[in-house]
């Protein structure tokens, strides 16, 4: 579908907590080892929030960084979309809290939830608002604080996740379009494979004692999710390439959801992509869910791995089950800001 306006990616940002939790630290909590975690996941450390840090505070920091990168005044932002599975409140939305903090006083704001694929869903929604001419400047943020929803006695899940936020700023352009294609999918029949039960209808509260806290823990069938992911990622990449009218061979960089290095490597191999084409920071941050793709994109740009012009495929998968991809162009017009 041809839209009247193109969506130009002008800002990237990210934020992670200061506290580093290494594999050695986890050896003191559960029956695991640095060797076991590293060989199976590629994760060496992750960032975990401390008291006073929240999903909202991380998202605000990432948003401000993206706005600064783009060199715009926050008052021109028309819409804020936050992808998160772990908001601080059921309401108000995280997006509204960010709007108040950054001074985007004229913007609409809402959250969406598609687990680790959330940022891809947010990118697709933002593209439609910009492409139709409804809004000119859209800020999208992926943020998750899974550490508060983990069973720290379960070595199969607590070693995987970290906390963080990543942000992208998109602006309308009549001359240039950086979002070449998006592709979204879902399969609710697999919803039970990866979930955090709510303390609502699943566990009704009829008395004075709250339901057991363990109901809030993340539950995952790791083997099934792995099998789903290694098929979903190549499928999503190929489908987006078809929509964009390019071949997989035209991709310069793969920016995947940072869930597990073995999944990333397996997907890249199936796509025929080289190791140097993979943008990865899972060793530093673990799985930051909806934040992982924008964080990886930011890091790839900041360390000079992604140099303009570059064709990048962003691809995510997660609870729902959901998966999706986006083909973006990182163009030379952004290069002057990389030095800032």
Active-site residue 23, yes or no? no
Active-site residue 287, yes or no? yes
Asked whether the beta carbons of 16 and 57 are under 8 A apart, the reply is no
Asked whether the beta carbons of 125 and 81 are under 8 A apart, the reply is yes
Q: Reduced to 3 states, what is the DSSP secondary structure of residue 166?
A: strand
Q: Catalytic one among 23, 260, 287, 334?
A: 287
Determine the distance from the C-alpha atom of residue 59 to the mean position of all C-alpha atoms in its chain, rounded to a whole number: 12
Kindly tell me the sign of the dihedral angle through the C-alpha atoms of 262, 267, 272, 273: negative
Q: Catalytic one among 23, 96, 116, 280?
A: 116
- Sequence-distant contacts of 130-135: CB under 8 A, at least 24 apart: 130/3, 130/5, 130/6, 130/7, 130/170, 130/171, 130/172, 131/3, 131/4, 131/5, 131/6, 131/7, 132/3, 132/4, 132/5, 133/4, 133/5, 133/172, 134/78, 135/78, 135/79, 135/172
Pair of tokens at residue 58: 């991380």
Distance CA 335, CA 316 (A): 26
Q: Catalytic one among 178, 257, 260, 312?
A: 257
Pair of tokens at residue 331: 């163009």
Q: Catalytic amino acids?
A: 116, 257, 287
């Amino acid at each position: 579908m041809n839209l009247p306006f193109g969506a130009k990616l002008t800002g990237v940002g990210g934020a992670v907590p200061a506290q580093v939790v290494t594999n050695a630290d986890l050896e003191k909590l559960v029956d695991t080892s640095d060797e076991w975690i590293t060989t199976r996941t590629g994760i060496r450390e992750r960032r975990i929030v401390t008291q006073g840090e929240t999903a909202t505070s991380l998202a605000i920091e990432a948003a401000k960084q993206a706005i600064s990168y783009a060199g715009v005044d926050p008052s021109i932002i028309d819409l804020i979309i936050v992808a998160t599975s772990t908001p601080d409140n059921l309401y108000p939305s995280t997006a509204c809290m960010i709007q108040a903090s950054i001074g985007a006083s004229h913007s609409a704001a809402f959250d969406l939830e598609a687990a680790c694929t959330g940022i891809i869903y947010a990118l697709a929604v933002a593209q439609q608002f910009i492409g139709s001419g409804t809004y000119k400047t859209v800020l999208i943020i992926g943020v998750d604080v899974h550490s508060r929803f983990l069973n720290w006695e379960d070595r199969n899940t607590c070693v995987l996740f970290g906390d963080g936020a990543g942000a992208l700023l998109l602006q309308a352009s009549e001359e240039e379009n950086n979002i070449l294609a998006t592709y979204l999918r879902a399969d609710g029949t697999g919803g039970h494979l990866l979930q955090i039960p709510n303390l609502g209808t699943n566990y009704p509260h009829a008395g004075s004692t709250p339901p057991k806290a363990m109901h809030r823990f993340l539950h995952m069938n790791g083997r099934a999710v792995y099998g789903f992911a290694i098929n979903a990622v190549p499928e999503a990449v190929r489908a987006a390439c078809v929509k964009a009218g390019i071949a997989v061979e035209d991709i310069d960089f793969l920016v995947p959801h940072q869930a597990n290095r073995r999944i990333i490597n397996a997907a890249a191999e199936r796509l025929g992509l080289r190791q140097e084409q993979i943008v990865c920071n899972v060793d530093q941050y673990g799985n930051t869910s909806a934040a992982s793709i924008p964080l990886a994109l930011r890091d790839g740009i900041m360390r000079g791995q992604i140099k303009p012009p570059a064709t990048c495929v962003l691809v995510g998968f997660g609870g729902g089950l959901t998966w999706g991809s986006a083909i973006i162009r990182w163009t030379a017009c952004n290069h002057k800001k990389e030095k800032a």
